[in-house]
Chain A
Amino acid sequence: GENVEQHPSTLSVQEGDSAVIKCTYSDSASNYFPWYKQELGKGPQLIIDIRSNVGEKKDQRIAVTLNKTAKHFSLHITETQPEDSAVYFCAAISHTGNQFYFGTGTSLTVIP
């Protein structure tokens, strides 16, 4: 099955700086890679996703890049704000099934 690894587990940045979270996956058949933001005591919220037919996707301050050859994808948050502080999860899913394989999460703290 799929194995998704996520780094770092914790990340602290100064407000205004950029944050990068990286994930690797093992199953070359995986073709959909969403990123979720989870605030304390709440459910995960989809913030951006990318499919295997593109290499990069951007939505305002958030971007995701995908390297299919190396089997890794990254979340980039620019001009970070305190409200970006949360736990971020990456996931990978194969076209052969509908099960998400989640990374272990990254706790991001943006210091004002």
Chain B
Amino acid sequence: GAVVSQHPSWVICKSGTSVKIECRSLDFQATTMFWYRQFPKQSLMLMATSNEGSKATYEQGVEKDKFLINHASLTLSTLTVTSAHPEDSSFYICSASAGAKNIQYFGAGTRLSVL
């Protein structure tokens, strides 16, 4: 199956700093990438959808200025959590999709801990 790499797997940062998370599709070109947030023992919550070369579409309630998404190429999307605060601590997961079949392949997730 298709491989999606997400980096880093775990990051700890101080409150007020910014953190960048990378999502790469290793063996296919991802026309669309998705960013999710997951709280413990809960389902995945879609934050935004991004298509290569265009602005991301954010879900209601997600601050686009706080969660900056860049999808500069067909194999790379980044999520930057700006001025992170403890309430931003969570598990962030990306997924990538290609073609018309709508199959999403997920990265391994990034655990963000803001002190």
Determine chain B's interface SS by DSSP, over half rule: strand
Interface size on A, residues (CB 8 A): 20
Mark the stretch among B62-70, B80-88, B98-106 that contacts chain A: B98-106
Mark the stretch among B12-20, B38-46, B71-79 that contacts chain A: B38-46
| Residues of B contacting A34 in the complex (Cβ-Cβ under 8 angstroms) | 103-104
A3 to B91, CA, bound (A): 23
Is B25's beta carbon under 8 Å from chain A?
no
Q: Which residue of B lies closest to A36 (CB)?
A: B106
Q: Cβ of B103 and Cβ of A46 under 8 Å apart?
A: yes
A32: contacting residue among B44, B93, B102, CB under 8 A:
B102
Interface residue ranges, B against A (CB under 8 Å): 1, 4, 6, 32, 34, 41-44, 46, 49, 93, 95, 97, 101-109, 111
